């Protein structure tokens, strides 16, 4: 999906930012799971990850693929 939205000749910039953001945020899930499991219970800790999946799904649900491809073509 992301590869379709990247403007021509800007692939390295966009994929570099994608990789960087993945590395920067990779600790959030395990940290949240660990803290909530320690403070409350393991069930709450694992359940909290559901929030990340739901938020990601909502964000992707709102993406207009045709508009993204058209915008990448105009750039």
Mean per-residue pLDDT for 3-20? 91
- 12 pLDDT band, cuts 50/70/90, is very high
pLDDT at residue 4, rounded to an integer: 87
pLDDT at 36 over 90: yes
User: Burial code of 34-55, b = ≥16 C-beta within 10 A, e = fewer?
Assistant: eebeeeeeeeebeebeeeeeee
Would you say 37 and 45 are in contact if contact means Cβ atoms under 8 Å apart? Answer: yes
The structural domain count of the chain equals 1
**pTM value > 0.85:** no
CA distance 36 to 68: 37
Range of the domain at 36: 2-74
CA distance 19 to 64: 23
pLDDT at residue 35, rounded to an integer: 96
pLDDT at 45 over 80: yes
CA distance 44 to 53: 15
């Amino acid at each position: 999906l992301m590869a379709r939205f990247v403007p021509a000749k800007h692939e390295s910039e966009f994929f570099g930012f994608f990789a960087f953001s993945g590395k920067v945020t990779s600790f959030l899930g395990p940290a949240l799971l660990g803290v909530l499991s320690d403070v409350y219970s393991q069930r709450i800790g694992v359940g909290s990850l559901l929030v990340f999946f739901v938020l990601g799904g909502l964000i992707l649900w709102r993406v207009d693929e045709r508009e993204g491809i058209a915008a990448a073509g105009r750039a």
